[in-house]
Structure 1
């Protein structure tokens, strides 16, 4: 099957061909026709299967006919993160170059003035994160009554980030007669409840079992002590034919420290995490995509939806806390039919986390046996001098300093003789005899 068989316009087919695509992926082949027929849609597919193009391409043809109005976007796409929103906007620019469509990106971390100016001129497509959209709506800077088409992308990620109440609020502001599409990698009960409430008789498409990993990705787990993780990572980066790699960590502090460590050891590494401002994150991603960096150390902000061609390896420096994140992390490699390798470092304290991952994926991850020959300049310690055999106690005693000789005894001073006491007439008296006792009273 080709894209021409899906009912897309000639202008759109030219843009798709110029982008280097000839055959649609399974999710694209099944989703595009019902979207063109203006039906509601639920699309369940693992990451890296082309979900973005499955709604971007038909939306371009649908929006090609119509007129835009100030402050009233004709369509709305909700994304959980700024990076995903920026990537969808890139898709619209790439595929919509032959159409007169105007797009606006409404995300946090950037100046609001330029966004308001674009909205005031009227837009066909508004790509937004829920937080910034609600902020502008509450200020009266945007109207949603003219929105005819809604896309909720990465719905399970929205759930994890606590955006479901915002999405329910946004949906209540939209016209009831609209077309709604919901895409997700999994379908937990809260997402199903959301779909039942806001979608009307949707077409359900599932191209892969929820939470299954891409078959083009070779997966391994490595049992390693937490203190040895950096040594193991450097060894694999040097020996496993790594061209470009993304290294995922659970904590932002670990991301910063690991990126600095890799730079000190001569690797071309960058970092991306939630504490960075938007311009810095975009700049770092652009450097990675351009090849100026070949290793990107990231938190889960980069785990979903980021499409970077040619990522050969994914390393889970930390076993993910949530098993769904494992699927999204390793999905950064093995994209568009390419093959990839994924390594997960499992410390003793990660036994429960890796067990949950294997329970979700439905199979044991093969163990990768690793024998590291550590470089002498990095790992070898100076040999300790051998302790000499202990000498017999007698010899050790002889080597000790001689005991101090006792001081010569001084002659003892003779005690003074007691003063002679006069003898008492009465042997019973034991004290001195007063003189007056010898004086007679008759004298």
Structure 2
């Protein structure tokens, strides 16, 4: 009985729960739940709560494809056309709008129908289209010229250009080679010449006022009056252009400037191209010429750096053209281009943006920054011409597995094989002259151009990289091979000299040993910064 009795603790022995508070109970007497939402609810825990532990799925279930909302039917996988997702990023243009534009521009078939100055109309055929008899405006010119010239706002054009008005915003979108340069250049030149009329009147009034003052001084007999010495003051427009055209590369600066310079010979205005291709002295002399400047063609980087030290460069700009807007408003150019637009806004009367495409990024930027912009879009924008064959190569699939260089080489060899088959006659013998395939590969970086050219050369393809770092002495013969005239003359002269030196049989033997496919290929890899367009 003594052993069954409960042992009582000693008086000096501490309880094992001496450091713990008494247990909490609910009003019904049960244990209370621990609060985890308090700041100290996660202290003194040795095990994570069940709600925080990750759910482990079986390996077989993890490999199982995920279905859609319908558990009984797997989601269909869309095969192919993954490379054409860029079409989804383009802003949609309805066919109803395209038909309306076609009917609107159908009646305009001559530059004489546009409200241009007579001197500009006479210069179009001689300067922009020399050697052509029948000059007809393109669809983008028929659409843009009336809007940019404001033919439907004759009362506004009758006012003086010095009268401040709300800035007009235009987006000129047309396919490459459709004549966008001439479409925005003619209204800008017309505005410059019209602005010279009131300035010439004010200058004539000032001269007349000085002449009257001089005659009064002579009639009063002021023998002691001394005439002030002539002071050579700079032209009021020196370093303060009225129109600025922004383009992304130095090559486009020269291309746009060549067309503007051609008009300046007959229309008489001052146009100056500046880019990183010119020295600092040439840039300074052109921009701050004593005779003044009317139109400036530049790149955003150079103009932004000049505007930081000379803010007055943008103080007189009335017409700002953003050519290749899809490039100048992307992540690399957008901060500089936006800063130039902001600094030019106080004096700006027209903002013209030109682009060959309207990507989703450009569309979102314009809707947020310029919600009232007027869009001038040609009917054939984002439409693939019928004469163009479009092919898509899935580089993520076998056998390329993401190797774009290998896919490019395989595509080029396929084109060369077709050229070889075209160069073989019906009896199986090789023709004397087979068509040469000229291929241009566009890449987005200069380093990538050299990398692709080196890779293709290792595969036996005659490839040459061309970028803005390429010397001009190398650019000319490379481009001449793609124009056709110089290539044919050089080929004929080389063939004649070879036949005169070596025997005919040796030449034929050399041709037979040479790879037919390699003979039919001539490849040019061109950096995207170098581009050519029609005016």
Which TM-score applies when normalising by structure 2?
A: 0.49
Instruction: Find the counterpart in structure 2 of residue 23 from structure 1.
Output: 136
Instruction: Find the counterpart in structure 2 of residue 300 from structure 1.
Output: 528
Q: Contact (CA 8 Å) 2:249, 2:299: kept in 1 or not?
A: yes
Q: Contact (CA 8 Å) 1:259, 1:271: kept in 2 or not?
A: no
The residue matched to 2:266 in structure 1 has which SS? coil
The residue matched to 1:72 in structure 2 has which SS? coil
Q: Distance in 1 between matches of 2:237 and 2:477?
A: 33
Instruction: Find the counterpart in structure 2 of residue 173 from structure 1.
Output: 343
Aligned counterpart in structure 1 of residue 274 of structure 2, from 106, 119, 144: 106
Q: Contact (CA 8 Å) 2:274, 2:298: kept in 1 or not?
A: yes
The residue matched to 1:40 in structure 2 has which SS? strand
Q: Distance in 1 between matches of 2:259 and 2:437?
A: 25
Change over 3 Å in CA distance of 1:200–1:206 after alignment to 2 = same
Instruction: Find the counterpart in structure 2 of residue 380 from structure 1.
Output: none
**Greater percentage in helix:** 2
Kindly provide the CA deviation profile for residues 374-421 of structure 1, in whole angstroms up to 9, marking residues without a partner as x: xxxxxxxxxxxxxxxxxxxxxxxxxxxxxxxxxxxxxxxxxxxxxxxx
Change over 3 Å in CA distance of 1:282–1:180 after alignment to 2 = farther
Counterpart mapping for 1:5-16 below 5 A: 5-16=113-124
Instruction: Find the counterpart in structure 1 of residue 35 from structure 2.
Output: none
Q: Which runs of 5+ in 1 are unaligned?
A: 309-335, 337-443
What is the CA distance between 1:32 and its match in structure 2?
Answer: 0.6
Q: Contact (CA 8 Å) 1:31, 1:54: kept in 2 or not?
A: yes
What is the CA distance between 1:288 and its match in structure 2?
Answer: 5.6
What is the CA distance between 1:156 and its match in structure 2?
Answer: 1.0
| 2:222 paired with 1:40 | no
Q: Distance in 1 between matches of 2:484 and 2:193?
A: 32
Q: Contact (CA 8 Å) 2:264, 2:270: kept in 1 or not?
A: no
* RMSD over equivalenced CA pairs, Å: 3.7
**Greater percentage in strand:** 1
Q: Contact (CA 8 Å) 1:259, 1:270: kept in 2 or not?
A: no
Counterpart mapping for 1:149-188 below 5 A: 149-160=319-330, 162-176=332-346, 177-188=348-359
Moved more, 167-176 or 235-244: 235-244
Counterpart mapping for 1:26-425 below 5 A: 26-37=139-150, 39-65=168-194, 66=196, 69-121=237-289, 122-140=292-310, 143-160=313-330, 162-176=332-346, 177-192=348-363, 194-196=365-367, 201-208=372-379, 210-220=381-391, 226=406, 228-235=410-417, 239=422, 241=435, 246-249=440-443, 251-254=448-451, 256-257=453-454, 271-276=465-470, 291-292=485-486, 296-302=524-530, 306-307=532-533
Q: Contact (CA 8 Å) 1:60, 1:96: kept in 2 or not?
A: no
Kindly provide the CA deviation profile for residues 207-252 of structure 1, in whole angstroms up to 9, marking residues without a partner as x: 1365332344233457897254453354456649568653334621
Count of residue pairs brought into register by the alignment: 304
Instruction: Find the counterpart in structure 1 of residue 43 from structure 2.
Output: none
Q: Contact (CA 8 Å) 1:255, 1:298: kept in 2 or not?
A: no
Q: Distance in 1 between matches of 2:329 and 2:277?
A: 21
Q: Distance in 2 between matches of 1:99 and 1:290?
A: 34
What is the CA distance between 1:46 and its match in structure 2?
Answer: 2.1
Q: Distance in 1 between matches of 2:310 and 2:179?
A: 35
Change over 3 Å in CA distance of 1:290–1:198 after alignment to 2 = farther
Instruction: Find the counterpart in structure 1 of residue 112 from structure 2.
Output: 4
Q: Contact (CA 8 Å) 2:176, 2:533: kept in 1 or not?
A: no
Which TM-score applies when normalising by structure 1?
A: 0.58
The residue matched to 1:301 in structure 2 has which SS? coil
